[in-house]
Amino acid sequence: MISTAIINVTSYTGLELLRLLAQHPQLKVTSVTARSLAGKTLVDVFPQLQALAATTAIDPTMVIAEEPAQTDLAFVCLPHAAAAEAVVRLLERGTKVVDLSADFRLHDVAVYEEWYKHTHPAPALLESAVFGLCERYRERIAGASLVASPGCHSTTAILALLPAFARDIVEPDVIVDSKTGISGAGRGLTLGTHFAEANEDMSPYSVGGHRHMPEIKQELLAAARDGGHALSDIRLTFLPHLVPMTRGILATCYATLAPGAVEKSLSSEALVELYREYYAGEPFVHVVDQPPHTKWAYGSNHCFIYPTLDARTGRLIVMSCTDNLVKGAVGQAIQNANCMLGWPESLGLAGAGVNP
Ligand SMILES: NC(=O)C1=CN([C@@H]2O[C@H](COP(=O)(O)OP(=O)(O)OC[C@H]3O[C@@H](n4cnc5c(N)ncnc54)[C@H](OP(=O)(O)O)[C@@H]3O)[C@@H](O)[C@H]2O)C=CC1
Ligand SMILES: CC(=O)N[C@@H](CCC(=O)OP(=O)(O)O)C(=O)O
């Protein structure tokens, strides 16, 4: 068993890690931390964890500490900046790290500082950190000490658009309309996530620019470049919306077909085939032949993608669904850890979602 720390366990992602790691045959949680609730036990904070006692390797009476014990692996579930500081200390001790924050996702420190509005706490680590999307970087993740798991909106949109950019079938001008459940905002209460405000409500946010935009651009440009079609930039409109669900992301992406694809009279059937061929063998990405529902992914690490052509405009439309806390965060983090440790990516993650 690989000893594993969760930093900070009082987060939604920390709690979701406990749920998923309870089913993992090789990762044993031996250290959990929190700033506000240090000294309490897991079960003091989350009474529902009593249910884990008999059947799993997670001890619900484990005491939450301020500082992590020495472990082989750590999942960092802290807000950006605080995460980078924790990551530096963990790497110094020889711990392998999967960071769920945004601190090491962007390769360009100037872009990070522009979007996150503070000086990067550890820019020297950006070069060795690997963007944690196994569908693109599994070979590099396998040798990494630090993996930066991408955000929930970004994962859902990037998976939707990777084949289109890698195969050069769209113009570099894309609209991503993304709907998210409220758990994406974390456990801390704010006015916008208050039940009376968010229930039976739907609202766009970050209209002037959301910080997942540079992640999406970075990865689509890299996919185009690796596919042999160097682009200097992508004109991206990314607009997130808060919808009254607890979990789930639905990203609907729109793009104009590139002249080459129009000349070849790309059909919807050929488009689906192109996507299926791109994701062939992927355990968690499923190209489906009807519009997906967020409920299909609820509680699971699966992503469902439906690419189609709008017959009236010829425009490409791609719909993509994930669970923001699983493929959009914790499940992806475990998939990355499995890859770092040389195990099958789906170890402990094979389950389907909760339906209906
Ligand atoms: N929620 C989601 O769907 C996703 C989240 N992420 C990322 O994962 C990370 C965790 O997110 P999430 O679980 O939503 O977070 P939460 O808001 O639920 O929890 C944040 C945690 O960080 C601690 N904390 C808050 N501020 C500080 C600070 N300044 N210094 C140290 N600890 C602090 C809190 O601990 P305490 O109780 O001790 O105050 C709490 O445990 C974030 O970086 C987030 O961006 C990534 C993808 C999706
Ligand atoms: C509903 C909501 O607020 N969602 C968050 C996304 C959470 C996420 O993926 O965050 P990181 O990139 O910080 O890891 C947001 O839009 O900022």
DSSP assignment of 317-329: EEEEEE-TTIIII
Structure tokens at 3: 């000893």
Question: Is residue 339 flagged as an active site residue?
Answer: no
Ligand 2 site, residue 181, Cβ cutoff 6 A: no
Query: Phi, psi (5° rounding) for residue 83?
Result: -60, -50
Q: Which ligand 2 atom sits nearest the alpha carbon of residue 152?
A: 9
Among 152, 253, 303, 321, which one carries the catalytic annotation?
152
Say what the pTM is: 0.97
- Single-letter amino acid, residue 58: I
Q: Which ligand 2 atom sits nearest the alpha carbon of residue 329?
A: 9
**CATH of region 2-128:** 3.40.50.720
**CATH of region 153-324:** 3.30.360.10
Domain with CATH 3.30.360.10 in the chain: 153-324
List the residue whose alpha carbon is closest to atom 11 of ligand 2: 151
Nearest Cα to 98, choosing from 113, 112, 78, 115? 78
Domain with CATH 3.40.50.720 in the chain: 2-128
Q: In which residue are the tokens 């680590």 written?
A: 125
Please list the alpha-helical segments (H only) found in 186-239.
Answer: 195-198, 212-226
- pLDDT tens digit at each of 356 positions of the chain: 999 999 999 999 999 999 999 999 999 999 999 999 999 999 999 999 988 867 677 999 999 999 999 999 999 999 999 999 999 999 999 999 999 999 999 999 999 999 999 999 999 999 999 999 999 999 999 999 999 999 999 999 999 999 999 999 999 999 999 999 999 999 998 998 999 999 999 999 999 999 999 999 999 999 999 999 989 999 999 999 999 999 999 999 999 999 999 999 999 999 999 999 999 999 999 999 999 999 999 999 999 999 999 989 999 999 999 999 999 999 999 999 999 999 999 999 988 888 87
